[in-house]
Amino acid sequence: MRCFFDDRQLAHAPGREFHNGGWAVHAETPGRARSIAGALGRWEAPRDHGAEPIAAVHDARYLAFLRTAWDDWVREGREGEAIGYAFPVRHRRALDLTRIEARLGAFSMDASTPITAGSWDAAYWGAQCAVSAVDALAEGARSSFALCRPPGHHAGADYLGGYCFLNNAAIAARRATAKGLGPVAVLDVDYHHGNGTQDIFLGDGSVFFASIHADPRTDYPFYWGHGDERGEGAGAGATLNLPLSRGTDWSAYRPALAQALTAIAEWGAKTLVVSFGADTYAHDPIAGFALETGDFAEMGRMIGAAGLPAAIVMEGGYAVEALGANVAAFLSGFEGDEGAT
């Protein structure tokens, strides 16, 4: 399995986030990537594919904002990390907004995703890892792993949130289609629903999106991921949401994964992008499932047994001390069933 990571992804290092009415220590730290990198120990640097694969997914105005947001924040004399506080709930018109606070709100879905001095570089190189992972498949690899940090699946075409700035899984899926590897399916197994990925492909019948996640009636992102969301227009029927209750262990998770894999096979996918989050771990500090390290190996075996070329893209997982072992278990299980490295 070819694995991609770039040290520049460590540059994004926010200290705090706004959560449940107060400041909390930010959960998405550089230590997450260090834990995974240390556990696996085999890495390739991604190629710089430029802005084109990113622009195939994200709105040009949003990308322009991300590139300059931190410099604009500093230029306007603001202190601390850049976080929006006013959000356009009903209208997302393309207004000519001057103040950085206004633009932060216009392009954000929450107040938990600060922009810092290194945020753009980190997100950019995370996206390049995802693109490189897909290109590895196009070059004949059966599987690849992109250590994307910060994660991506909460980012929409024109908004950030949930610790995410660029949607690495969506970028990977579009790249796979462009490389002639379609039809493409995205399987999201993070604890939280991949609302950004769903938004991007909701009306796109060329990409199937399946997500197994915590019930949004009780867990973030709340407003997406309900079972009746099945796609719209040309994408009708190409979205599958399988929400599960808090406390779900492997015995309850396994049937949902089998259902998702069956749906992907029946849809006719030829390539798989896996949004892998290890925050389904029983001891994750911001989640509520009950999977153990050995369960990640079994999850990997089941997905690998589908026999599809797969680009695995890292999403969440915040129990830092166990994160590397959990990711290694998943990848080891996946490789064991595909029979190739």
- Residue 123 phi, psi dihedral angles, 5° rounding: -65, -40
The DSSP secondary structure of 185-239, one letter per residue, reads EEEE-SSS--HHHHHHHTT-TTEEEEEEEE-TTTSTT-SS--TT----GGGTT-E
Give the C-alpha separation, 316 to 191, whole Å: 8
Q: Is residue 154 flagged as an active site residue? A: yes
Give the C-alpha separation, 274 to 143, whole Å: 11
Residue 82 backbone class (left: φ over 0; alpha: ψ -120 to 50; beta: rest): beta
Token pair of 14 as six digits: 């926010």
Length in residues, the chain: 341
- Which of 12, 26, 153, 154 is an active site residue? 154
- Residue 271 phi, psi dihedral angles, 5° rounding: -140, 145
Q: Please identify every residue annotated as catalytic.
A: 154
